[in-house]
Structure 1
């Protein structure tokens, strides 16, 4: 029985860490999208993505990066709103899951994600950077599930 109680405490701490770590990551990374160097950093990823390339052509790189930044800041804020608005938090978490699924697609569309000169294709530094989004996708789904359960119990 004691282990069960400890397990619930650790689970709650883990979910809170996931939620607010995810929110903080999105807020900070979103803020950086307004910096020129970050526009340069995302260029090879977004220009190689067929669904996003047309937006860049239409908006320009700087405005497109700003749009991504505003989106990330908004999602981070929505995810963090769980104590006062669990349904809103669930929507933000599910939208973040969609965003991370999109960034994971860059593994297939960005030539710089792979090093093919070393025999079998291996992830490059860019590919390794993108791979972490699997964890962020999972965190988004867990945060969404937790927020939906909180909304149901209200």
Structure 2
């Protein structure tokens, strides 16, 4: 029975590592793409129709706004990946990602192009489907925030072995 528990603990530890570094890689990669002209155009309908971003969009312009978002995403992804060296900083990065994914999920409500025209509110377009995956990334960010906070606290065994 102890071996089974140890195997489950090891599997959970590997799962958290995969989740953390996949999350960090996704955020870093997407952040780096914010400097590409096609990504500026792809993000245009999202930021221009968002109450959170429309003022920044008007003030900074679409290219500078995308660069600001990109720099923020690169910072957040880097912090998440820093957990072995700086678990508190990693927790901050995960909380930043939580805010980021809550923001992108809000685009489902604020971006008309997120829904199929004439098909009802639940009929997501390709853009809406793309945005919906951020719900999974939000869950990953919540888990990595908790794991980083546990790692920053005085240890009583593996961080993931002490559910809240």
Same structural fold, with TM-score higher than 0.5 when normalized by the shorter chain: yes
For 1:63-142, what aligned pairs fall within 5 Å after superposition?
63-118=64-119, 121-142=122-143
Instruction: Specify which structure has the higher proportion of helix.
Output: 1
In structure 1, what is the equivalent of residue 161 of structure 2?
none
Partner of 1:7: 8
CA gap of 1:69–1:119, structure 2 versus 1, over 3 A, is: closer
Q: Which runs of 5+ in 1 are unaligned?
A: none
Question: 2:145 matched to which residue of 1?
Answer: 144
Tell me, what secondary structure is at the counterpart of 1:123? coil
If the length of structure 1 is used for normalisation, what is the TM-score? 0.96
Q: Are the aligned partners of 2:33 and 2:70 in contact in 1 as well (CA < 8 Å)? A: yes
Secondary structure, aligned partner of 1:27:
helix
Q: Which residue of 1 aligns with 2:158?
A: none
Q: Which residue of 2 aligns with 1:28?
A: 29
CA distance in 2, matches of 1:120, 1:140: 27
Please give the TM-score of this superposition, normalised by the length of structure 2.
Answer: 0.91
Aligned-residue Cα RMSD (Å) equals 1.1
Instruction: Give the CA deviation at 1:112.
Output: 0.6
Give aligned pairs, total.
154
Which structure 1 residue ranges, 4+ long, deviate > 4 Å from structure 2? Answer: none
Residue 51 of structure 1: how far off its partner (Å):
1.4
SS at match of 2:85: coil
